[in-house]
Amino acid sequence: MKRLILPILLLLSLLSLANNAAAQPDDPPTATPSPTPNRTLVPLLTRAESEMLFPAAVRFSVTANLPLEDVITLYLRIYQPEGDLNITPVLMPPRQHGIALNATTALFTYVWEFTPEEAPMPFTPLRFEWQVQSAEGISVAGGEFLFQDSIRSAPQPVNRWQSVGNTLQLYSHNSELALELLHQNAMRVFELVAQQTEIAPSQRIVIYDPTVTFCLRDLADPDTPPYVESRTIGGTRRPCDPNAALAIYERYGFTLLRRQTLAFNELQDRLTELVVNRTYAVLWENAPPIPEWFKAGLARLYNTTPNSSALGLALERLRTNRPLLTLRELAQPAETFSGTALRLWQAQSYLLTLYMADRVGAQAPFAFARVLATAESFESAFRRFFNAEIATFYAEWQTWLRSERAARAVRWTPYLDITPTPTATATITPTRTPQPPRASPTPLPTITPARFPTLTPFVTATFTALPPGALQRPTPIPAPSGGNPCGGAPLTILFLPAAAALILRLSRHFAKRATLDDRDSD
């Protein structure tokens, strides 16, 4: 039994050593990083805002929660998240661009003036970032806004424009305008024109109501130049040129459509005219001079609703023995006429073009328009296509105005399947309008979200550096010399086989001893 005491003591020592090794930490302490400047949140800047003064400038402002005299430097950066605009941060004298609101608060403003050549694309986002340095550190705040006309002439600034469409995009500042319906009807025109010309130019059309203007005027002093004016604290007034707004839109391919009245049908007709004229301008790029009456009549022929009132206006002139406009007068631009004369010019232009369809076939006006793209002259092309001189055609048209055929024809549009004259003896044979494959529209190079949300300026958190020595560095705990760098767990596993062998040896010894005792007892 005494021989077993030494192995047991040895086993207990090994287990105690393994437990002490396991009590040591597994990993050495993490080395303290090299000291770097720390930055903590300090709310010095608030209310970073922007105010559009289209088409002249943008006013930026920011409020600092510190006295004006404590500001050392002041920077402002203006840039586009996705675009070419990136103005180098402007270093501004704080006292020149700031005012003290009270003893502990200051307001800083900056007016960015731009020319049409410098202006970014309308309806795209811009960002700005203020940076203020004081004795406490550097603070940063910024925001985002849409570069768009805020309609300073309206009772309330317009912060949100409606937008709809892709290849044909429509924009309106009037939230009550049925823009979706307007776009739906315009797309019928766009697609039909694309089918018949195989041309589908992308179009962006900006719609303005008749009651708004780009610039303001001083009613008390009519000699005062037009201007735009800020409506916020510390505001500013800047000169305004309406032509600058037109130049900005035209530079980026936008077409401005100013409504003459608030009537929806009038706007729909104007929109149809724009869509048609834009496409045929591409088709007729190298065409000979074309009379204005045919351009206007072709555009009105694309209207989605019949134009019966045009025939009534012409017949009223004939019944009262008042002459109609001559071909020479009809060849002049619409701007030459006004009032009743303008309405008569529009009616005769439409009815002459409609007579082409009733005389030859529903597709005659559109086919003739394609012929003009490569014609030597309008007169020669007209003679070959209609087999008649223009003067003869005009005289026969006046007779046609009083016929039943004319009354039926004005109820027809090119969106109907057949021409309006159903009789077999009619000059025009009822034929179905062919539906060729739709032309693939050319997508816009860049597009904005269908609707532009109102973007609320945001304030970026500010940071101020702590002075050197303010951050206490933790003192690492040194590892014991000669310790196991791998931790205690591997050492415990190392002693397990030895302990198991010793226990097995003891078991065999006691078993053998028990056997001998049994034999002695026998």
pTM across the whole model:
0.70
Confidence check: pLDDT of 198 > 50: yes
Fold of 39-152+453-465: Immunoglobulin-like (2.60.40)
Q: Where in the chain is the domain with CATH 2.60.40.10?
A: 39-152+453-465
- Contact between 345 and 334 under an 8 Å Cβ cutoff? The reply is yes
Query: Would the CA dihedral through 406, 412, 414, 417 be positive or negative?
Result: negative
Cα(314)–Cα(325) distance, rounded to whole angstroms? Answer: 10
What pLDDT does residue 219 have? Answer: 80
Q: What tokens does 466 get?
A: 């702590």
Q: Which position has the higher pLDDT, 86 or 30?
A: 86
Q: Which position has the higher pLDDT, 84 or 10?
A: 84
Q: What tokens does 442 get?
A: 């050319």
Distance of CA 189 to the CA centre of its chain: 24
Q: Which of 257, 279, 287, 285 has the alpha carbon at shortest distance from 371?
A: 287
Residue 457's contacts (CB-CB under 8 Å, 6 or more residues apart) are 48, 49, 50, 143, 144, 145
ω before 29 within 30° of 0 (cis)? no
Query: Would the CA dihedral through 413, 418, 419, 421 be positive or negative?
Result: negative
Query: Would the CA dihedral through 217, 223, 224, 228 be positive or negative?
Result: positive
CA atoms within 13 A on the CB side of 31: 3
Q: Which of 15, 52, 110, 356 has the alpha carbon at shortest distance from 231?
A: 52
* Rg value, the chain, Cα: 43
Q: Which position has the higher pLDDT, 511 or 306?
A: 306
Q: Per residue in 326-371, pLDDT tens?
A: 999 999 999 999 999 999 999 999 999 999 999 999 999 999 999 9
Of 232-241, 272-281, 302-311, minimum mean pLDDT range: 232-241
